[in-house]
Structure 1
Amino acid sequence: MNRICTICARGGSKGVLGKNLRLMHGKPLIAYSIEQAKASGLFNAVVVSSDSAGILEAARQHGADLLIDRPAELATDTAAKLPAIRHAAEAAERALGMRFDTYVDLDATSPLRSAEDIRNAVELLEASGAGNVITAMPARRSPYFNLVEVAQDGSVALSKRPAVAFARRQDAPPCYDMNASIYVWRRPVLFGTDTIFNPDTRLYVMPEERSIDIDSELDFEFVQFLMKRQLGE
């Protein structure tokens, strides 16, 4: 089974300036995803794609097998991530002279995942016959109980109105909060669809303490705290 891991990291960032290179306990943030991919023992190659020479150099120093220059049009604030992943995967296939059965993308801003999480998400894809796998954590709030929407007339209602009102959130159907940590695809699905939600998409659930995605300074500080605890410092 041939498998590839991509890590796509832009140089620009609005919420946390330069976050992919910011030091987290002595290492640039992107180093954690590279090391987790390597530790999983799953991949023929770990590939980093970026529009930033600094990120690519840091990736090289921390063990990336292949570096891909991301085109400027795939690195804007409005550019979708899926085309960047496809670009990285296709460039890697050309450079390595091979195609892969399983494609995994790790978000560089989710450094709390474990190598076991990566292995489990890949196993879910390959054992179930699913086309792709996404990851999430149990949601703190529920659209059936305490998530609301405001209509044009100003009225407020639950986002999803159950046939019977629930007295407790715990009684509502389980809901999950996507954590953007790990994406896994079979090749036909990665290159043949433009959505991550397909009829045979499966969900790998991670605990909240390994699911924080850094999108703000507060997130960065929180992850630092959790990682310090994780490292036993």
Structure 2
Amino acid sequence: MNIAIIPARGGSKRIPRKNIKNFHGKPLIAYSIEAAQKSNCFDRILVSTDDLEIAEVAKYYGAEVPFLRPSEISDDFSTTLDVMKHAIIWCQENEINVANICCVYATAPFLLAEYIQQGLKSLTDNSVKYAFSATSFPFPIQRAIKLDKNDQVNMFQPEHLNTRSQDLEEAYHDAGQFYWGTAEAFLEKAAFFAEHSIAIKLPRKRVQDIDTTEDWELAELLYSVLNK
């Protein structure tokens, strides 16, 4: 059985009530639920939340909320792997035979069903522990700079001061949309970013982190452009 788990706690700080905040006419979490539904990859779509209002919104859009997440894994220090392990153990205790699980973030309005499908195919075809979304950095990370308390500049890798951009290796980062994995990988809390994982490369235009008010505004603008 393949199951989607959407973590969505209620205590977001920088953007209050972020997971159910209106984003172009729908609660933000609705986009993740709908992408999971359209993928046809899942036998069940569960939302892990500690918040009754989020639970009601999730159920309205067709997800299941069979339990409320305990407080000890609902604070600022709880990790995605903590939440996933709890949800998988709940499934096992309720005789739900889980093979592959996809953690779908509740803040992914640019997620497409086809990316979820690609993730499942890569997970099963390559016999890896995880397959997750990634995208490329828009600027060579080898030429990144850091600022001291007086805003004076130093390079992280000064040896690349005069290296041509086209000669530098392209770098990628987590796109923060989904993580497919085997039940065993999540239960043992295996690291996502390791040789036992494979990346599903997404175009940068379909990736936007949403952690701050500025992120939110950029996401709304990008969504408007992509959905003219």
TM-score by length of 1: 0.88
Q: What is the aligned partner in structure 2 of residue 148 from structure 1?
A: 145
Deviations 1:57-91 (A, max 9, x none): 00000000343311111111122221011112222
Which letter does structure 1 place at the counterpart of 2:2?
Answer: R
After TM superposition, the structure 1 = structure 2 runs for residues 1-233 of structure 1, keeping only pairs within 5 Å, are: 2-95=1-94, 97-144=95-142, 146-149=143-146, 156-159=154-157, 167-232=163-228
Specify the SS of the correspondent of 2:177.
strand
> Contact conserved, 1:66 with 1:92, CA < 8 A, in 2?
no
Q: Distance in 2 between matches of 1:155 and 1:24?
A: 38
1:48 and 1:56 in contact (8 A); partners too:
yes
Deviation at 1:7, TM superposition (A): 0.2
The amino acid across from 2:24 in the alignment is: H
How has the CA–CA distance of structure 1 residues 159 and 77 changed in structure 2, closer, same or farther, with 3 Å as cutoff? farther
TM-superposed CA distance for 1:133, in Å, is 1.5
Question: Which segments of 5 or more consecutive residues in structure 2 lack a partner in the other structure?
Answer: none
Mapped contact 2:88–2:183 kept (Cα < 8 A) = no
- Farther-moved stretch of structure 1 (189-198 vs 217-226): 189-198
Q: Percent identity?
A: 27
Q: CA deviation at 1:113?
A: 1.0
8 Å CA contact 1:147, 1:158 repeated in 2: yes
In the superposition, the TM-score normalised over structure 2's length comes to: 0.90
Is the contact between residue 149 and residue 159 of structure 1 (CA under 8 Å) also seen in structure 2?
A: no
CA deviation after TM superposition for structure 1 residue 14, in Å:
1.7
Please say if residues 81 and 189 of structure 2, whose CA atoms lie closer than 8 Å, have aligned partners that are also in contact: no
Alpha-carbon deviations, 1:189-217, whole Å to 9, x = none?
A: 11123422333211111111211121111
RMSD: 2.1
Q: Secondary structure at the match of 2:101?
A: strand
Gap change, CA 1:166 and 1:205, over 3 Å in 2: farther
Between the two proteins, the alignment pairs up a number of residues equal to 225
